[in-house]
Amino acid sequence: MSQEHMKIPQATAKRLPLYYRFLKNLSVSGKQRVSSAELAEAVKVDSATIRRDFSYFGALGKKGYGYNVNYLLTFFAKTLSQDETTPVALIGVGNLGTAFLHYNFTKNNNTMIQLAFDVDPGKIGTEIADVPIYHINDIKKELATREIDVAILTVPVGAAQPIADDLAAAGIKGILNFTPARLTLPPHIRVHHIDLAVELQSLVYFMKQYPVNEESK
């Protein structure tokens, strides 16, 4: 099956990194095959969904054998572009941004923050975890000399839209937005939004309103 022309459903695509991480651990521990039931237990996705997901990749489990771990790993690595490192820019080196600079993304996936931007004169010109920090006004200039398509946004909410506009002008194609701002951008730019405060509040709400009883787990 051609990698280029294969379109998998978005819900399946979202689960790929999860599968990839688990299979990588299995492979490291020397395991060569895995059943959909084992996978289901480990990644908390039901086994029917796993079998359907895997059928999109042409990976058909054999009864009594399961799936070949290395076949799946090779497939996922290619699909998730693990054979190449994706460079990322980070905008806003505050508490959250600094944590991301220290976080080792390459441990589980091949993305790497290559440079960062801020307005704080105390941060500009310094490095955190070997990542250089530039002035936000130099964003277009610095991005023009590098092939970076992805940016992480960890600035205060009020700064988010103008910076997103600059990122769009600089040719960025994907933004992971950690600010509460709802960004307006050209349709060719993909924005994934993670509002940690909202996620936490939602968890607390659901815990209260929809308690999970042990049997239905």
Applying CB under 6 A, the residues found at the interface with ligand ATP are 91-97, 117-120, 136, 155-156, 159, 163
Q: Which residue, 158 or 186, is less far from ligand ATP as judged by CB?
A: 158
Structure tokens, 14: 């979202």
**CA–CA separation, 78 and 184 (whole Å):** 32
Shortest Å, Cβ 139 to ligand ATP = 9
Q: Are 36 and 66 in contact (CB under 8 A)?
A: yes
CA separation, residue 9 to residues 6, 23, 44, 191 (Å)? 10, 20, 19, 18
Shortest Å, Cβ 203 to ligand ATP = 21
| Chain residue whose CB lies nearest ligand ATP | 94
Q: Which residues pair with 87 in a beta bridge?
A: 112
Q: Which residue, 61 or 92, is less far from ligand ATP as judged by CB?
A: 92
Q: Which residue, 32 or 184, is less far from ligand ATP as judged by CB?
A: 184
**CA–CA separation, 124 and 133 (whole Å):** 5
Q: Which amino acid is at 100?
A: F
Q: Which residue, 89 or 91, is less far from ligand ATP as judged by CB?
A: 91
DSSP 198: H
Q: Which residue, 8 or 99, is less far from ligand ATP as judged by CB?
A: 99
Shortest Å, Cβ 117 to ligand ATP = 6
Shortest Å, Cβ 90 to ligand ATP = 10
Element (H, E) at 69: helix 69-79
Q: Are 146 and 115 in contact (CB under 8 A)?
A: yes
Shortest Å, Cβ 135 to ligand ATP = 8
